[in-house]
Amino acid sequence: MKGALGAAIVALTLAGCAGDNRSIESEAPDVASTTSSAGRASTVVDSSTITDSTGVGTTQTGRQPEGFTTVTLELTGADPCCVWLADSPEERSRGLMEVTDLGEPVGMLFAYPEEGTGRFYMFNTVLPLSIAFFDGDGRFVSSTDMEPCRSPDPVECPRYPAVAPFRYALEVPQGGLDDLGIGSGTTIAPGAEAANCAGF
């Protein structure tokens, strides 16, 4: 009896982890390289996990995100910038996995329908990244650097949490937050999706 119960628990756990192949645990924020929770059941998702080139376009300079829109991101005290937008569970799950070239956009903005807690990871993500988290009003919460995870097992990849609930997460090449002037006191305001600042 105990063996059957244990097997059932393992099967349910694996089914939950296979969910949408993201690096996020839970659902409020669910990102491409994240783990999050917002009052829902906790499920592991790989938000930057791609085993083939689906969703990644190849260019002369490298592999760029494909199938994402771009938006203009307004920043307090800095010039607006163009970013890729990941605002669906599928996009957040894929994120910057296997991407080697961002093209014109400076990073990728993960947008969730509501605030939540969560952690990002770097499974199948090639570029070293910096991530900044923002609350529902666009106010800076925290930031950290993230290193690519070389393990073939996403369970072994380090997780990178925000220090408080967040609704937005911005991933840029490592060191890029300083270049954009993002830190304590920064507020962001994503533009309309139709902005397509990179001309795609």
The rounded distance, in Å, linking the Cα atoms of 54 and 191 is: 27
| pLDDT, tens only, 2-54 | 444 343 333 333 232 223 333 444 444 434 444 433 322 222 223 333 223 33
SS3 176: helix
Kindly report the backbone phi and psi dihedral angles of residue 15, in degrees, each rounded to the nearest multiple of 5, phi listed first: -65, -40
| pLDDT, tens only, 125-163 | 999 999 999 999 999 999 999 999 999 999 999 999 999
Give this prediction's pTM: 0.72
Q: Which range (24-33, 85-94, 190-199) has the least confidence?
A: 24-33
What fold characterizes domain 2-195? Answer: Jelly Rolls (2.60.120)
Q: What does the block give as tokens for 43?
A: 């499920």
**Inter-CA distances, 52 with 59, 63, 96, 97, 163, Å:** 16, 12, 13, 10, 33
Which residues, 6 or more positions from 165, have their beta carbon under 8 angstroms from its beta carbon?
Answer: 28, 38, 115, 116, 117, 135, 141
192 versus 187: the higher-pLDDT residue is 187
Amino acid letter at 87?
D
In the chain, where the domains are located: 2-195
Average pLDDT over residues 59-73: 81
The rounded distance, in Å, linking the Cα atoms of 156 and 134 is: 26
Share of the chain above pLDDT 90, in %: 58
Share of the chain above pLDDT 70, in %: 66
**Inter-CA distances, 16 with 11, 12, 33, 37, Å:** 9, 6, 17, 14
**Inter-CA distances, 33 with 8, 22, 44, 46, 185, Å:** 28, 7, 11, 6, 24
Report the chain's C-alpha Rg in angstroms: 17
pLDDT at 42: 23
